[in-house]
Chains A and B, each alone.
Chain A
Amino acid sequence: MRSMVQTRKSEMIGAWLSVLASLIWLCGAAVIARVLGRLLMGDDVSAIAAGAALFLLWALRTATEAAAQRCLSQAAEAKITELRQEIVTREAASASASTLAGEGALAALVAEKLETLRPALLRYRPARLRVLVLPAVILCLTAWHSWAVAIVLLVAGPLIPVFMALVGWAAKEASARQMQEIGQLSDLLVDRLAALSDLQLLGAGKSTVETFARASDTLRQRTMAVLQIAFLSSTVLELFSALGVALVAIWVGFTLLGELNWGGWGVPLTPVAGVYLLLMAPEFFQPLRDLAAAWHDRAAVDAVMDELAAWRDEDRAKRLGHGATEPALSHTPSIAIQNLHHRGITYPNIRIEPGESLALEGVSGAGKTTLLRLIAGLEQPDRGTILIDGVALTEENANQWRASIGWMPQAPHFFNGSLRYNVGLGAPVSDDTLVAAGLETIIQDLPRGDLTRLGERGAGLSGGEGRRVTLARALHGAPRVLIADEPTADLDAETARRISDSLLQFTKDGGTLLVASHDTALINRLQKRVSIQRDTDAA
């Protein structure tokens, strides 16, 4: 990873090299002017020498420009990589989803939107430097031959930054709207695509397509609005540039004819100077045009940077520990919850001995799931402590604690991979685990067995089958404590009983079982029950 200082440095070197390349071209133009002028006056000119001089100067300029771009693209790459790492790392460290953007929008930010920074990083700084240096140099060269031409350039030039400031302002707003729309379109799609099979069975296919068509068209309009501003600004610049060239050509022509006698320094204008003035005029405007183009890129950058700043400012809940594997506890610990208060809910004090089984009851939304998340260290409580073997759960011991847990969430996420991958998350899976979770008959029925890829919501599996996959995932690491959120929801009595059997077998083997459930059949089979209630101080 390159350091910030190095990135800055290569950006500066790149910018100066690009200035140098433009200066070299001023010499190339002089060669053309001199050759044509002397040719006109009947002087002897060597064709070979003239061609070679022009070609070599041009090659030098090209090489310098290429070197400049090399430095600049390295700097741009480093900057984008740094931002990507920041986003991925922080998102991984946050305990819960961002409220600002959905998964689709964040993925779009980290992949596509950061890519839009590249053109600005490549172009903006060198263009700004060229604007500072080149017009001044060209103005001096021009004024040396003719004050009239210099005045034409001087008047047309400064108008441009004024105009650009106005355009840049409008462009930023339009870019921001466009960026927002890109994110929303991704969010809108990712949801509908994930649910597409179900939406179709509902007969909502057509309205889904229509909503999307509208959103897509809005994005098109927003993009077009941004482009219109960009095109308008570059058109105005081109107009200044073209008029500048035309005025210079006409003044030079008339002066050479002898029709105009003002605008010079009293000495007759030579054809060499005339051609040179003509070649200089577009070069005077070129850096300004480059800056205008880069200015527009910068508007896109500002929009992305604002979005990043909002994302950075968001106060995100932190989890305990970093979520890596560590050696698990060597025994089954006791768990105690003391004076726990989180997000407006006060939880009762609970003590769970090793090998006990406990049911958390309560109406939907009472905070059962949150309590399970707190116990697993997935969220930091506002107040109170969770004691594992009498030791408070902290940043330091959370990873070891989690290595001892089996986790069965109510709505699991199925990863982009095979069924076997979804059980072991990359680690080798023993067949015993699959048998213990009752997966073996399910695997036989799948088209590609345990290598069948799953949809995000476990599509291809029935509710009960999906639940068994999560059970297998929970049992996979030979945990000491099993935490299960509504393990029997969506299951028929027979399947629910078999899942419950597997859970109780786990306690018989010495593990602690913690379940949040509505299922009375399951609750009745557990040793202890605790009721969680919202809006009460202590139960």
Chain B
Amino acid sequence: MTDLIAIIYLIIRNERQALARGFALAFVVLVMGVALLALSGWFILATAAAGMAGIGILFNVFAPSAMVRFLALGRTAARYGERILTHDATLRAVSELRVSLLRGLLTRPYRALERLRANSELNRITADTDALDGALLRLVIPALAGSAAILITSLVLWWIVHPSVAAILAAGYLVLPTGVFCIGQGVAKSPARLAEAALQAGRSRMVDLLSGRDDLTVFGQLPRARDHTIHAFDKAAQSRRRLDQIERQTGMLMDMVTALVTSGCLMVGITLVQADVIETAQAAIGVFAALALGEAVAPVRRALSEIGKMTKAAARVRPALKAPDLAWDDPKPPLSGQGLEMYNTTFATQGKAMFKPISLSVAPGETVVLEGASGSGKSTVLLLAIGALVPAQGIVRALGCDPAQVSMDAMTRKAVLVTQRSALIAGTISDNLRLADPTASDAALWRALETVCLHKVLQNRGGLDLKLGPRGSGLSGGEARRLILARAILRRPDLLLLDEPTEGLDDATADLVMTGLRDALPNAAFLVAAHRQAERAQADGIVPVIRA
């Protein structure tokens, strides 16, 4: 609950003005609705009384009838304005929330990012933020505007009708719905959470089913995975049914509250009229106001069905928002040092050194190759060099500073690490390349492609506009590899760290690509984790990485 309040506060802070206006209009809508019905009721009974008394000619009909028309038109306009204002502000805030979640992810340490399950993060960024859009629209604004309208109406009725009618209205509409909400909230919480959790589980399992369908088929697990997915959705449906039931019951209770208050106002009105305390027209005001205020308490039903989902979503979203701000657009000048040095460096997992301490030095324009068996720690050395990991011992100096002390953003402006995985995305070739440099011209993209011998392959297949499928599918392994290298060139780094850059390429192409990289970046320092001759050919030095 505190998480939900914190997020509501955050949204209000960002969109203060629009929401304040929206709230004011929501209040106006309710009050005008009450006034319209009450005034019309009073008008009819007052005119009838005047007509019966034969003093119809003296009755001022113009002020009330003008007022009725004004209320009718004004309420409609206020309603439209309120909806547009509050929805626009909320959607804006939710969109902002989504972006800060993604930004928050990027501040996580490298190892955490690497193990990230895209599906659950996707849920957090899309479904959870969507759940939060109701927090203001269906919880805070209706509650505040409704209470304010009930209070104001009661006060006015105290004055123009009778205190007892006002008391029934205020007590019935403020106390009973609040009670229903507080009790119902506890009851609805668990099915709402279960429904949401099951739906998200179903979603994740669906993605696993779609991405892993070949593997699942060969290993005979396809029907099981399918049933597992359907089971999650069935679970969601089950909780959903329970939630629907609670929602219906709340709706019934709210309806009965309105019935109780209206009947109460009618009975008190009759008694007061018969005791000659008030006029019939005044009694009518009480009854019609009670009838109209039913609208103010109706949102409790919807709020109840959503609050469980909202609190859960808020609990998941808020921790991710607490992340420190990324130092983007850091005004500090970019790193001006050059080359890479490591002295007696190693990395440790669970207190055990991973590889024997290594020392190396790469000057601008030089290529140094790391050699060693798979799993000996070559990739780890590259991650140490860019500061994604912190060494257990020894010194690392990349581009003249300790990379662990510099922000990842400052580091990657001058240094690039190309990992073994092919981090390609769905979209065109140019979308993929421009991830590295959004402002690059088409000509620059083609030059980068030429460097890695990919331009001829792509020319016949749609060029920069060739569409790749999810995760870059549509390219062969070797083509994907070269596209990633081309992307690294676009950053024009001073320090280029490559993890098995020519995997999947035949020897001749591998040679051409390595030469192309060097020609494109003549003054950069290269550190390459390699096991192929082509990658070693132009090495100025070879450093063995030996498992501890």
Q: Bits for B196-214, please: 1 = Cβ < 8 Å to A, else 0.
A: 0001101111111111111
Q: Are B219 and A407 in contact (CB under 8 A)?
A: yes
Which B47-68 residues have a C-beta within 8 angstroms of A? Answer: 47-52, 56, 59, 61, 64-65, 68
In angstroms, Cα B266 to Cα A39, docked, is 11
- Interface membership of A197, Cβ < 8 A: yes
Q: Are B44 and A253 in contact (CB under 8 A)?
A: yes
Q: Report B-chain residues with C-beta under 8 Å of the C-beta of A48.
A: 267
Stretch of B315-323, B356-364, B434-442 that contacts chain A: B434-442
Stretch of A331-339, A387-395, A488-496, A504-512 that contacts chain B: A488-496
Known A242-B73, A271-B48, A462-B420; judge A254-B95 contact (CB<8 A).
no
- Interface membership of A138, Cβ < 8 A: no
Q: Are B284 and A459 in contact (CB under 8 A)?
A: no
B372 CB to nearest chain A CB (Å): 7
Known A97-B210, A209-B106, A256-B44; judge A455-B115 contact (CB<8 A).
yes
Q: Are A104 and B44 in contact (CB under 8 A)?
A: no
Residue from B51, B114, B421, B476 within 8 A of A257 (CB atoms):
B51
Q: Bits for A13-42, please: 1 = Cβ < 8 Å to B, else 0.
A: 000000000000000000010011101110
Residue from B75, B199, B207 within 8 A of A242 (CB atoms):
B75
- Please classify the interface of chain B as helix (H, G, I), strand (E, B), loop, or mixed, using the class held by over half of its residues: helix
A60 CB to nearest chain B CB (Å): 10
A204 CB to nearest chain B CB (Å): 4
Q: Are A110 and B416 in contact (CB under 8 A)?
A: no
Q: Bits for B409-440, please: 1 = Cβ < 8 Å to A, else 0.
A: 10011001111110111100000001110100
- Interface membership of A162, Cβ < 8 A: no
Chain B, residue nearest A497 (CB):
B373
Q: Are B119 and A190 in contact (CB under 8 A)?
A: yes
Count of A-B residue pairs with CB < 8 Å: 491
Q: Are B209 and A66 in contact (CB under 8 A)?
A: no
Q: Are B531 and A202 in contact (CB under 8 A)?
A: no
- Interface membership of A69, Cβ < 8 A: yes
Q: Are B416 and A201 in contact (CB under 8 A)?
A: yes
In angstroms, Cα B221 to Cα A413, docked, is 14
In angstroms, Cα B253 to Cα A65, docked, is 12
Q: Report A-chain residues with C-beta under 8 Å of the C-beta of B61.
A: 253-254, 257, 259
- Interface membership of A261, Cβ < 8 A: no
In angstroms, Cα B105 to Cα A518, docked, is 38
Q: Bits for B66-83, please: 1 = Cβ < 8 Å to A, else 0.
A: 001101110111011001
Q: Report B-chain residues with C-beta under 8 Å of the C-beta of A492.
A: 372-374, 531
Q: Report A-chain residues with C-beta under 8 Å of the C-beta of B43.
A: 249-250, 253
Residue from B266, B326, B354, B418 within 8 A of A51 (CB atoms):
B266
- Interface membership of A429, Cβ < 8 A: no
- Interface membership of B260, Cβ < 8 A: yes
Which A65-112 residues have a C-beta within 8 angstroms of B? Answer: 65-66, 69-70, 73-74, 77, 80-81, 84-85, 88-89, 91-92, 94-95, 97, 102-104, 106-108, 110-112
- Interface membership of A245, Cβ < 8 A: yes
In angstroms, Cα B386 to Cα A291, docked, is 61
Known A200-B106, A212-B102; judge A274-B44 contact (CB<8 A).
yes
Which B92-119 residues have a C-beta within 8 angstroms of A? Answer: 92, 94-95, 98-99, 102-103, 105-106, 110-111, 113-119
Q: Report A-chain residues with C-beta under 8 Å of the C-beta of B234.
A: 81
Known A242-B76, A275-B44, A447-B349; judge A250-B264 contact (CB<8 A).
no
- Interface membership of A47, Cβ < 8 A: yes
Which B189-231 residues have a C-beta within 8 angstroms of A? Answer: 199-200, 202-226, 229-230
Q: Are B478 and A364 in contact (CB under 8 A)?
A: yes
Q: Are A193 and B122 in contact (CB under 8 A)?
A: yes
In angstroms, Cα B119 to Cα A205, docked, is 19
Known A77-B241, A242-B75, A249-B40; judge A66-B251 contact (CB<8 A).
yes
- Interface membership of B487, Cβ < 8 A: yes
In angstroms, Cα B49 to Cα A95, docked, is 80
Known A203-B412, A224-B87, A252-B44; judge A208-B435 contact (CB<8 A).
yes
A27 CB to nearest chain B CB (Å): 13
Residue from A202, A207, A322, A457 within 8 A of B222 (CB atoms):
A322
Chain A, residue nearest B434 (CB):
A207
Residue from B202, B205, B220 within 8 A of A326 (CB atoms):
B220
In angstroms, Cα B202 to Cα A373, docked, is 28
Residue from B94, B118, B223 within 8 A of A190 (CB atoms):
B118
A76 CB to nearest chain B CB (Å): 9
Stretch of B142-150, B335-343, B498-506 that contacts chain A: B498-506
**How many residues in A have their beta carbons less than 8 Å from beta carbons of B?**
162
Chain B, residue nearest A452 (CB):
B115
- Interface membership of A231, Cβ < 8 A: yes
- Interface membership of B283, Cβ < 8 A: yes
Q: Are B373 and A324 in contact (CB under 8 A)?
A: no
Q: Are B113 and A200 in contact (CB under 8 A)?
A: yes
B207 CB to nearest chain A CB (Å): 5
Known A106-B206, A456-B118; judge A202-B436 contact (CB<8 A).
yes
Q: Bits for A203-217, please: 1 = Cβ < 8 Å to B, else 0.
A: 111111111110011
In angstroms, Cα B49 to Cα A239, docked, is 30
A191 CB to nearest chain B CB (Å): 4
Q: Are A62 and B50 in contact (CB under 8 A)?
A: no
Which B302-341 residues have a C-beta within 8 angstroms of A? Answer: 326, 328
Q: Report B-chain residues with C-beta under 8 Å of the C-beta of A254.
A: 47, 61, 65
In angstroms, Cα B218 to Cα A108, docked, is 27
- Interface membership of A139, Cβ < 8 A: no
In angstroms, Cα B255 to Cα A65, docked, is 10
A251 CB to nearest chain B CB (Å): 10
Q: Report B-chain residues with C-beta under 8 Å of the C-beta of A4.
A: none
Known A54-B262, A81-B233; judge A205-B408 contact (CB<8 A).
yes
Known A242-B72, A257-B56; judge A50-B266 contact (CB<8 A).
yes
- Interface membership of B259, Cβ < 8 A: yes
- Interface membership of A151, Cβ < 8 A: no
- Interface membership of A402, Cβ < 8 A: yes
Q: Report A-chain residues with C-beta under 8 Å of the C-beta of B200.
A: 111
- Interface membership of B6, Cβ < 8 A: no
A1 CB to nearest chain B CB (Å): 10
Q: Report B-chain residues with C-beta under 8 Å of the C-beta of A70.
A: 245, 248
B315 CB to nearest chain A CB (Å): 20
Q: Are B211 and A238 in contact (CB under 8 A)?
A: no
In angstroms, Cα B94 to Cα A217, docked, is 10
Chain A, residue nearest B411 (CB):
A203
Q: Report A-chain residues with C-beta under 8 Å of the C-beta of B479.
A: 364
In angstroms, Cα B375 to Cα A462, docked, is 6
Which A399-454 residues have a C-beta within 8 angstroms of B? Answer: 399, 402-403, 405, 407, 409-413, 415-416, 425-426, 441-442, 445, 447, 453-454
Q: List 16 A-B contacts (CB under 8 A).
A: A36-B287, A47-B268, A59-B259, A77-B237, A80-B237, A106-B210, A186-B126, A198-B419, A220-B94, A242-B76, A245-B36, A250-B69, A254-B47, A462-B375, A476-B219, A494-B373
Q: Which 6 A-B pairs have the closest CB atoms?
A: A323-B222, A464-B374, A203-B412, A492-B531, A325-B220, A198-B423
